[in-house]
Amino acid sequence: MDIVLWIIVAALFAASLIAVFFPVLPEMLLLWAGFLLYQFTIAGSGAGLPASFWWGMAIMTILLYGADFLTNAYFVKKYGGSKWSQFASIVGVILGAVLFPPFGIILFPFALVIIVEMIVQRQPLEHAVKAGVGSVVAFLGSAVMKVFLQIVMIVWFFLAI
């Protein structure tokens, strides 16, 4: 039975990494499901994972959730976007993930930043597109950061057991 449970844990970890690029899947829930499955089934009545592991995972989870929003705002600003565009990129990530996954998480921030730059900020199309490209760069940077942090979390899990 333990072999089946370990296969499920491994599948949950793999799915969490895949979910970075398909925001329909909740990557953190999948990762935590693997941790909790181990804790309450495989570890059984043993000590299980230490409290330091759970605190560390909680902090890293907060970092992962913040990665999308902060990275998006940072890169939009770096590519010349205004404060309004930074806000639009965050709204775009949320709307895109909910309304048109998985591509919406790239397309919605890109489109909203261009619209805000052109209409609200009265910037030329070239400037608006450059700021919009910042939102795409942000998604890619965020994805790399999320995969890295998830791998760190998975390695930490195996070291903790």
Residue type, 41: T
pTM: 0.79
pLDDT per position as a tens digit, 99-129: 887 788 889 989 999 999 999 999 999 999 9
pLDDT per position as a tens digit, 6-31: 999 999 999 999 988 776 678 899 99
Closest CA to 102 of 111, 110, 93, 113: 93
Question: Domain map of the chain by residue range?
Answer: 2-160
pLDDT per position as a tens digit, 33-86: 999 999 999 887 677 899 999 999 999 999 888 776 777 778 878 888 888 988
Amino acid 22: pLDDT = 75
Q: Where are the alpha helices (DSSP H) in the chain?
A: 2-18, 27-37, 51-78, 83-99, 104-115, 125-160
- Neighbour-count burial of 114, counting CB atoms closer than 10 A to its CB (0-12 exposed, 13-18 middle, 19+ buried): buried
